[in-house]
Amino acid sequence: MPQYNAPLTDMQFLLHDWLQLDHHYQQLGISDFDSELVNEILSQGAKFAEGVIAPLNREGDEHSSKLLDGKVTTPAGFAQAYQDYIANGWNAMLGSSEYDGQDMPYTMAIPVHEMLNSANLSWRLICMLTESAVLAVTKHGDEQLKKTYLAKLISGEWTGTMCLTEPHAGTDLSLLSAKAQPNGDGSYLISGSKIFISGGDQDWSDNICHLVLARLPDAPAGIKGISLFLVPKILVSASGELGAANQVSVGSIEKKMGLKACPTCVMNFDEAQGWLVGDENKGLACMFTMMNDARFQVGLQGLGIAEASYQGALSYARERLQSRAPQGVAQPDKKADSIMFQPDVRRMLLTQKALTEGCRALALLYAQQMDVEKYGNAEQQHAAAKVIAFLTPICKGFMTDMGTDVSSLGIQVYGGHGYIREWGMEQLMRDSRIAQLYEGTNGIQAADLISRKLARDNGVTLQATQSLLQKWVSDIQLPSSQAFAQDLLNEWVGTSQQLIHLNAVDLAGSAYDYMHYSAYCILGILWLSMADRAQQSSIESLKSGKANTCAFYLKRLLPRKDGFKLNLLSGANDLLALADHEFDYQ
Amino acid sequence: MPQYNAPLTDMQFLLHDWLQLDHHYQQLGISDFDSELVNEILSQGAKFAEGVIAPLNREGDEHSSKLLDGKVTTPAGFAQAYQDYIANGWNAMLGSSEYDGQDMPYTMAIPVHEMLNSANLSWRLICMLTESAVLAVTKHGDEQLKKTYLAKLISGEWTGTMCLTEPHAGTDLSLLSAKAQPNGDGSYLISGSKIFISGGDQDWSDNICHLVLARLPDAPAGIKGISLFLVPKILVSASGELGAANQVSVGSIEKKMGLKACPTCVMNFDEAQGWLVGDENKGLACMFTMMNDARFQVGLQGLGIAEASYQGALSYARERLQSRAPQGVAQPDKKADSIMFQPDVRRMLLTQKALTEGCRALALLYAQQMDVEKYGNAEQQHAAAKVIAFLTPICKGFMTDMGTDVSSLGIQVYGGHGYIREWGMEQLMRDSRIAQLYEGTNGIQAADLISRKLARDNGVTLQATQSLLQKWVSDIQLPSSQAFAQDLLNEWVGTSQQLIHLNAVDLAGSAYDYMHYSAYCILGILWLSMADRAQQSSIESLKSGKANTCAFYLKRLLPRKDGFKLNLLSGANDLLALADHEFDYQ
């Protein structure tokens, strides 16, 4: 596995110079946190990611999680690393201080999450889902539920899962059939089978809180009849003591392409006792609280993997000596030049770098908006919520497609060695591939973006996003860069507005192209802004590195937007033109 | 694993209606073969691929090849399938009739090879390398070598390998250090270690003929001092009897991302006895005979995997019921509509279909040119050789990039299930990924295309390819299609000509984009031609299917060429602008 080093220089540049964190915190009245503390957290987070969980990643892939006698065992070292993690308070970063959480701004926690993803995705995923469960219970749970579960979930003493999918209900949750029967004592008996439950069981925590979607007996059909329940693995007494095991069992664990150390479970609920989260039949809204958080976090997985792959490829390109550079012998004292001098290897590394850094800027801009949504005044919160709504599917869909593409380039830089497991580069691609699928496939993200986010509210969320980006454009100092960014913003907004009134079929046909088109435009604006801000940095290599990488992005990657744009406004007729039998030719 | 069905309808359309095989054979004076025999071979090949080796593919991936006590065991059923294969003469399809081969035209054998790739890539690879070895010995071996080895290699009683790569010499063979010492009796003693040797050992054949690159004691430095040797696993007596074991051993087998059933060996040669193939110090030229064949065959692997993935995705899309179609309820008697009705799923399936069928046309056009090179008159052979030289890197580079992209789409259509091993879709992507790396990475293919094929001979190979494509354009009946294809050809040739005089650095910087630009243009021409020809077909679904898929290709995929084109003429400065330290930001 390539050695992982947290990209602290880039993160600090983005947080301090680009996002101007101290100013941002002041404006939001956040007084407990400042730049210095941010740097301390980043540096401790880097130490944990690099020193504790990254070293477990390869072996985790080799040995996988195992199911024996109904119990899951994770690979050696995983459980201990988790104990370190929670002992040092990492799990509590975002939790409410009312339940002993640290209530950190997102701009502090998100960079640490990126590091964990780079270091060991399988390990990170279980913690991530606990954080999502914390959110759902915090926002929708009643007082008793919070009192019983929240502090333990925030500390990480107990973990959480999301139990949505059933064999025949994935994308379409209206088909789900798990049942909930009122128990007469305020609790419910939950029955049904759920699949694809990450961390459905493990050897990390004494209890696991499953958040389960199920139907009440008299529930309306479809998605309006779904309720959310918290179903603990072990029942908890009123005083908070662990009691008997609940009727929850692991049916099997999946054999997967990657993410092997993370147990993906079939979970069986057999009249298991559960408690309602939020109102009856409003489960989907509660679930979306978790889901939206999880979607952004999955986008961050794509970013984390991309970073790890870039680092591996860069160090290999520097070491691997093959042939001479076409621009002339570069290392005359060696038998051959390192492949770092080959223009085509540069193309691959720069593609990795430009996409990774661009997506990091997007992720941190998103984190900043989450801070605003949490700490801002009502008006600010309102605007930030719209930006977040708009950017969530882009972060999830684009950043995970990017993660697989970039990790595939990482393999390519290694040549044949990239295909060999011991180097770890192919694991990154296999691990990355899941992120395009779970928490809503990227096709679903694209549909969410164009239908629910862009069209449904007549462009209001678009407008909020435009306003935010306009500020970034206006702040660009170099006039030519500002003009370029302004054109890009205008073009993107203009194109987006034209789409708003398409019918549902044409929207569906344009969805995927629109998601990628939007991402390339937005990344272009962010690159111009970053490169501009970097000119004031005291770090010389950052200054020129950002400028040159920006130039590469604008020249070689941004033009991809035009290919996507071409398909946006021409409807879905060509997609639907083929009769079913015309797809066959056997 | 999805059920594989050989795409016989499409193959027969391409061979008979599009390539007009009977006419093609007549023109070349091939009298032993005709359409009827082609159909018989296709149908028998389909039966073998579908019924014998496809069923072994999933288990092969689960169990891998194993090395025990220096001997490799392939997964259950693999060796027996090979015995069936050679007993039925499949290995001998292309071998010379002088050595009991069937001397089939390539246009007959290549479709069968595609089927084998779709059905089981790991299994197919070992046979493929034997065919390459046959070529090298046929073309460069002396009479004694041919007499001893050729009939057995052609029948498949013995197999062949290619031993080029060493740990520090992959792309750059000038660095290789394996040694050959003349033995005084016409043989040589070969010493050194080779890596990535597919089928370096197996339990299929009594003998394995390794074709090994090594240096003679007095050889010039670099690639001009490399010779090619045939080194058998078991020594063969003058009368052709198997004798003692040679000093050849398997050091280890690699754990890989995919292709697990195929043993990828580290081979150790310890004064192993070998015989020269071709002249001393001319080994690279001999190796390229094998290599060029292997490169096209690897391109065909991308095609085969793409076809298998498309079939899997199509059948799943028809069965999987989720949500209602945006264009209105499609299956009112069911709980939900099949995802086949979702425009975004259509986008994925059509992308798979358009690329797969387009690449199949390219592969068969290539096969046709191989027929011409083998059977044509001197002038025809000369032109065909140039076309083949030009198209080889495009077939290898583009079709294997395509294979991974298309198999990734196949996973995506399955949603989360695509990530689970038992469905087999993720194996296709893992298996496909190697094809972008071996027989020269796709970066090397791109460099070969733009530097050696396009620029070195001042556009002569380009011109030969243009002439061939011009015939196809001129044959298009529908004027609007013909005009479209003509514009495409003119644009591609014009752009290519502009590149010829770039310097070596700019060529290197444009290489990858040029390979993809060329492929999208050529596929556009082939699609227009196919759709046009299909209008004369008596099969209604083929007629409309080709027309609609062509329209999709032209509208949604062809525009990608413009993104690649944009980067072609602007040099490599942006790629080389970053100082080494500017790549870091940790």
Contact in structure between B394 and B443 (CB atoms under 8 Å): no
What's the pLDDT at B490? 98
* CA nearest to A62 within chain B: B255
pLDDT value at B436 more than 70 = yes
- Give the model confidence (pLDDT) of B290-309 as tens digits: 888 999 999 999 999 999 99
End-to-end CA distance of chain A: 43
Give the ipTM of the model, two decimals please: 0.97
3-class SS of residue B583: helix
- Give the model confidence (pLDDT) of A28-48 as tens digits: 999 999 999 999 999 999 999
What's the pLDDT at B192? 98
Tell if the CB–CB gap between B343 and A567 is shorter than 8 Å.
no
pLDDT value at A451 more than 70 = yes
Contact in structure between A135 and B386 (CB atoms under 8 Å): no
Contact in structure between B528 and B522 (CB atoms under 8 Å): no
Tokens matching residue B470: 């011009």
Nearest-angstrom CA–CA distance, A176 and A190: 13
Nearest-angstrom CA–CA distance, A35 and B20: 73
Could you give the angle at which helices A540-552 and A343-375 cross, rounded to 10 degrees? Answer: 100
Nearest-angstrom CA–CA distance, B307 and B292: 23
Nearest-angstrom CA–CA distance, B262 and B125: 7
Which residues in chain B have Cβ-Cβ distances shorter than 8 Å to A111?
A: none
- Give the model confidence (pLDDT) of A201-239 as tens digits: 999 999 999 999 999 999 999 999 999 999 999 999 988
Q: What is the phi/psi pair of residue A519, to 5°?
A: -60, -45
pTM (predicted TM-score): 0.98
Which residue from B290, B301, B392, B409 is spatially nearest to B353, judged by alpha carbons?
B409
- Give the model confidence (pLDDT) of B58-73 as tens digits: 999 999 999 999 999 9
Apex CA B436: angle with CA B430 and CA B439, to 5°?
120
Name the pLDDT band for B392 (thresholds 50, 70, 90).
Answer: very high
Residue with tokens 């050849």: B248
> Which residue is catalytic, options A98, A422, A439, A582?
A439
Name the pLDDT band for B288 (thresholds 50, 70, 90).
Answer: confident
- Give the model confidence (pLDDT) of B153-175 as tens digits: 999 999 999 999 999 999 899 99
- Give the model confidence (pLDDT) of A537-553 as tens digits: 999 999 999 999 999 99
Which residues in chain A have Cβ-Cβ distances shorter than 8 Å to B586?
A: 5-10, 311
> Which residue is catalytic, options B241, B439, B540, B582?
B439
- Give the model confidence (pLDDT) of B558-575 as tens digits: 999 999 999 898 889 899
Across chain B, mean pLDDT equals 96
**Chain pair A-B, CB pairs under 8 angstroms:** 301
- Give the model confidence (pLDDT) of B511-545 as tens digits: 999 999 999 999 999 999 999 999 999 999 999 99
Which of A228-232, A392-396, A575-579, B408-412 has the least mean pLDDT? A575-579
Tell if the CB–CB gap between B579 and A443 is shorter than 8 Å.
no
Strands B207-214 and A207-214: unpaired
- Give the model confidence (pLDDT) of A139-177 as tens digits: 999 999 999 999 999 999 999 999 999 999 998 999 999
**How many percent of chain B have pLDDT more than 90?**
96
Nearest-angstrom CA–CA distance, A196 and B424: 17
Nearest-angstrom CA–CA distance, B339 and A526: 36
Interface residue of A10, A406, A422, A585 to substitute, partner B, most B CBs within 10 Å: A585
What's the pLDDT at A586? 59
What's the pLDDT at A564? 95
pLDDT value at A182 more than 90 = yes
Say which amino acid occupies A91.
Answer: N
What's the pLDDT at B2? 86
pLDDT, average across residues B384-403: 98
Nearest-angstrom CA–CA distance, A291 and A296: 9
A556: Cβ contacts below 8 Å, ≥ 6 apart = A347, A350, A351, A354, B567, B574
Strands A207-214 and A158-163: parallel
Across chain A, mean pLDDT equals 96
Q: What is the phi/psi pair of residue A321, to 5°?
A: -100, 115
What's the pLDDT at A306? 98
3-class SS of residue A73: strand
pLDDT, average across residues B413-419: 98
Contact in structure between A154 and A132 (CB atoms under 8 Å): no
A452: Cβ contacts below 8 Å, ≥ 6 apart = none
pLDDT value at A1 more than 90 = no
Nearest-angstrom CA–CA distance, B451 and A495: 40
- Give the model confidence (pLDDT) of B269-279 as tens digits: 999 999 999 99
- Give the model confidence (pLDDT) of A358-402 as tens digits: 999 999 999 999 999 999 999 999 999 999 999 999 999 999 999
Apex CA B35: angle with CA B31 and CA B37, to 5°?
80
Cα A436–chain centre separation:
10
H/E/C letters for each residue in B389-400? HHHHHHHHHHHH
pLDDT, average across residues B320-337: 96
Tell if the CB–CB gap between A574 and B551 is shorter than 8 Å.
yes
Which residue ranges make up each domain of chain A? 441-576
What is the dihedral angle through the alpha carbons of B252, B257, B261, B267, rounded to the nearest 10 degrees? -20
- Give the model confidence (pLDDT) of B170-219 as tens digits: 989 999 999 999 999 999 999 999 999 999 999 999 999 999 999 999 99
* CA nearest to A451 within chain B: B326
Nearest-angstrom CA–CA distance, B538 and B515: 36
Name the pLDDT band for A290 (thresholds 50, 70, 90).
Answer: confident
Classify each residue of A523-533 as buried b or exposed e, where b means 16 or more C-beta atoms within 10 Å of its C-beta: bbbbbbbbbbb
Nearest-angstrom CA–CA distance, B476 and B485: 9
Name the E strands within B42-92.
66-68, 71-73
Question: How many C-beta atoms surround the C-beta of residue A190 within 10 A?
Answer: 30
pLDDT value at B289 more than 90 = no
Of A349, A446, A562, the CB nearest to B562: A562
Which residue from B249, B254, B279, B272 is spatially nearest to B264, judged by alpha carbons?
B254
What's the pLDDT at A519? 98
- Give the model confidence (pLDDT) of A60-98 as tens digits: 999 999 999 999 999 999 999 999 999 999 999 999 999
Name the pLDDT band for A20 (thresholds 50, 70, 90).
Answer: very high
Which residues in chain A have Cβ-Cβ distances shorter than 8 Å to B584?
A: 9, 314, 541
What's the pLDDT at B377? 97
Cα A404–chain centre separation:
13
Q: Is B439 a catalytic residue?
A: yes
pLDDT value at B586 more than 70 = no
Can you give the C-alpha Rg of chain A in angstroms? 24
Of B322, B446, B541, the CB nearest to A170: B322
Contact in structure between B404 and A435 (CB atoms under 8 Å): no
Tell if the CB–CB gap between A6 and B586 is shorter than 8 Å.
yes
Classify each residue of B311-329 as buried b or exposed e, where b means 16 or more C-beta atoms within 10 Å of its C-beta: bbbbbbbeebbbbbbbbee
Tokens matching residue A329: 């012998």
